[in-house]
Amino acid sequence: MNEKKHTVLVVEDDALISDMVTKNLKLEGFLVETARDGEECLSKVKEVNPDLILLDVLLPKLDGWEVLARLRDDPREKVIPIIMLTALSDERSKVQGLRGGADDYVTKPFSALELMARVETVLKRNNRHARMSPESLRSQMPVRKGDKIYLLNVDDINFINIRREYTYAHTDEGRFLTNHSLAQLEKTLDPTKFFRAHRGYIVNMRKVKEITKAGSSSYELTMSDPANSKIPVSRRQSAELRKLLDI
């Protein structure tokens, strides 16, 4: 039994699914509010201030992607954890949800046991009563590897890059899928530590092993990861790099 009495907002237009999810949440001790479309969801969020939202993608009026985007753009509501519920199971849809700011993704049909486990996990990870400060958010990044989500210490990141439209953070332990675009990360990460070396790369300057010239006015960075990864510096960024390193 959940003793904290967290409030979960279930946003689902299918009455049978909504009733099933509501019943199971209540059996676990949660308080439950429901909405049947995107517009009602946005209204309910302001009204009840839920601790977590279970958000279907295929909703009338406003779909789940649009609702997710609006919630993440609102400073008062962007911290509410959101689990997407959808029949869309392809990787691109999952990445769209994660890059849009979703905390997890559950594909229909799902079991009540799986859903409850994911709800508990997301709530523990996103405890709103002990939420990280903006300064702390710059030190940790939510990432995914396989079906698991981790909080990655940004100081452990060697570099971040785009590959086939997906954004990955690379550490000595491997690569992790991030929730954000490079442009978003460039604005979030500490500019005294991280440098946009190229349109496809952000590097942790504290993890740079060597800087070599690749041309008359261009450079290449060798990272200190096990692979000694080579990161190009675009000509556009070379002047900024020289200024940063005073060279």
**pLDDT of 1-44, one tens digit each?**
344 579 999 999 999 999 999 999 999 999 999 999 999 999 99
**pLDDT of 162-171, one tens digit each?**
987 788 999 9
Q: What pLDDT does residue 128 have?
A: 47
CA–CA gap between residue 174 and residue 157 (Å, rounded): 10
Three-state secondary structure call for residue 247: coil
| Degrees to nearest 5, angle at CA 106 with 127 and 101 | 55
Check: CB of residue 54 under 8 Å from CB of residue 9: yes
Confidence band for 124, pLDDT divided at 50, 70 and 90? confident
Structure tokens at 92: 């691109």
Query: Does the pLDDT value for residue 91 go beyond 70?
Result: no
Residue 13 CB coordination number (10 Å):
16
Query: Does the pLDDT value for residue 100 go beyond 80?
Result: no
Class of the CATH-defined domain 7-129: alpha beta
Residue spans per domain, the chain: 7-129, 139-245
Query: Does the pLDDT value for residue 213 go beyond 90?
Result: no
pTM: 0.56
CA–CA gap between residue 91 and residue 79 (Å, rounded): 25
Structure tokens at 166: 């997906």
Check: CB of residue 157 under 8 Å from CB of residue 107: no
| List of residues 6+ apart from 205 with CB closer than 8 A | 193, 194, 195, 244
Three-state secondary structure call for residue 240: helix
Check: CB of residue 55 under 8 Å from CB of residue 64: yes
Structure tokens at 218: 């261009």
Class of the CATH-defined domain 139-245: mainly beta
243 against 84, higher pLDDT:
84
Q: Helical H runs in 127-226?
A: 134-137, 182-188
**pLDDT of 167-200, one tens digit each?**
899 999 999 998 778 887 888 888 889 999 998 9
Q: What pLDDT does residue 4 have?
A: 54
Query: Does the pLDDT value for residue 90 go beyond 60?
Result: yes
CA–CA gap between residue 38 and residue 44 (Å, rounded): 10
Check: CB of residue 32 under 8 Å from CB of residue 22: yes
CA–CA gap between residue 9 and residue 155 (Å, rounded): 35
Confidence band for 238, pLDDT divided at 50, 70 and 90? confident
| List of residues 6+ apart from 6 with CB closer than 8 A | 30, 31, 51, 52, 123
Mean pLDDT across 70-82: 84
**pLDDT of 127-164, one tens digit each?**
644 444 445 556 778 788 876 777 889 999 999 999 87
Say what percent of the chain tops pLDDT 70. Answer: 87
List the one residue out of 177, 195, 192 whose CA is nearest residue 234: 195
